[in-house]
Structure formats: structure tokens, C-alpha cells
Homo-oligomer: A and B are copies of this chain.
Amino acid sequence: MDPASTLALFRQMKKQLGQLDAWFDAAKAAGTAKSFDPNVLLQARLAPDQFPLARQIQIACDTAKLAASRLTGIEVPSQPDTETTFDELRTRVHSVVAILGGLEVAHFEGAADRSITQPRWEGKTLSGADYLVEHALPNFYFHLAHVYAILRHNGVGLGKRDYLGALSFRAP
């Protein structure tokens, strides 16, 4: 995984997190239309032993943020999982979007060969390239898709375009 390719994948994570603004707006609109507090959705979950919506959003943010930090060495703020409203979560999402937006190709020089670990791996390590492809990206999309699925399951109006966002179409 070369530096430019790695940056492209992070730029995409930034874009995907940017889509959450529209999802949160749709959640608020659903609450307004049906006269409920949209923030109750943040406790919704698809299975009793899965995380609720708020935690899915927090993990999607952390997965991208920590991957950026581990692969580049940049310091990122720790963010306690205390949000209870979409507005608070929007602030958190925006902070991660800003971190990802500051990444350049040069940050990822040598990233593929970095030795990545985390406490739950009990001393085992992944190469930076394997960590990105086998762990960070699949986890990021897992939690992002669960955010989407929980909202859709609760009647929030979203479509595939809200998921993908605008594509970089070329002039014909």
C-alpha cells in the first residue's frame, strides 16, 4: 500500500464521515415529522448484544482517527464517549473530518511498514499495510454501515446516494 493510495483511502473515509451530516439531518426530520425526539434513536440497536447507534458513530470516528494516528504518528485527541445528542456527535464527526483533511501524502511515507499494535492484541503486531486493509477499513465500513442500517430500520429516509455521496465523474 503506497503512500498515495493510502491517502486516497483516508480521503474516502473523510468523505464518508462527511455524509453523516445529511444522515443526522434526516434523523432530525424523521423526529419532526413523527413528533419524537430524534436523539432517542441514538439508543437504538439491531440486536441486544450489538452497540447502539451513538456507539456505532463513535467507533466509526475512532477507527478513522486512530488509523490516521497509528499510520502517521500524528497525535490525535482522545475523545470520551459522552455524546447523547446528534448535535454533540456532529461536533465529534467534524473534528475527525478535520484531522483526516489535514493528511497529505508525505504523512504516509513508511506507513506500510510501520509496526501496529493495540492492547487487545497482546503484543502481536500487524504491518501498517495489513492493519489498514485487514482491520481499519473493514471496521470503519462495518460501523458506518451499521449507523446507516439502524437509521433505516427506524424509518429514517436515506438512500444509497446519501451513503456514497457525490462521485468524481470525469468530463466526457
Q: What residues make up the interface of A, taking CB atoms closer than 8 Å to B?
A: 1-2, 4-6, 8-9, 11-12, 15-16, 46-47, 50, 115, 121, 123-127, 129-130, 133-135, 137-139, 141-142, 144-146, 148-149, 152-153, 155, 160, 163-165, 167-170, 172
In the bound complex, residues from chain B placing their C-beta under 8 Å from that of A16 are: 138
| 9 A–B contacts from the bound complex (CB under 8 Å) | A2-B4, A8-B129, A16-B138, A127-B170, A134-B165, A134-B168, A139-B164, A141-B141, A153-B153
Complex-state Cα separation, A47 to B121, whole angstroms: 36
Copies per complex of this chain: 2
In the bound complex, residues from chain B placing their C-beta under 8 Å from that of A133 are: 8-9, 11-12
Is chain A's binding surface mostly helix, strand, loop or mixed? helix
Minimal beta-carbon separation of A166 from chain B (angstroms) = 9
Given contacts A8-B133, A145-B146, contact A170 B125 (CB under 8 A): yes
In the bound complex, residues from chain B placing their C-beta under 8 Å from that of A141 are: 137-138, 141-142, 145
Nearest-CB residue, chain B, relative to A125: B170
B46 near A127 with CB under 8 A, answer no
A170 near B138 with CB under 8 A, answer no
Nearest 10 A/B pairs, CB to CB: A141-B141, A145-B145, A5-B5, A124-B169, A46-B153, A130-B168, A47-B152, A1-B5, A149-B149, A12-B133
B170 near A46 with CB under 8 A, answer no
Residue among A4, A8, A126, A164 with most chain B CB within 10 A: A8
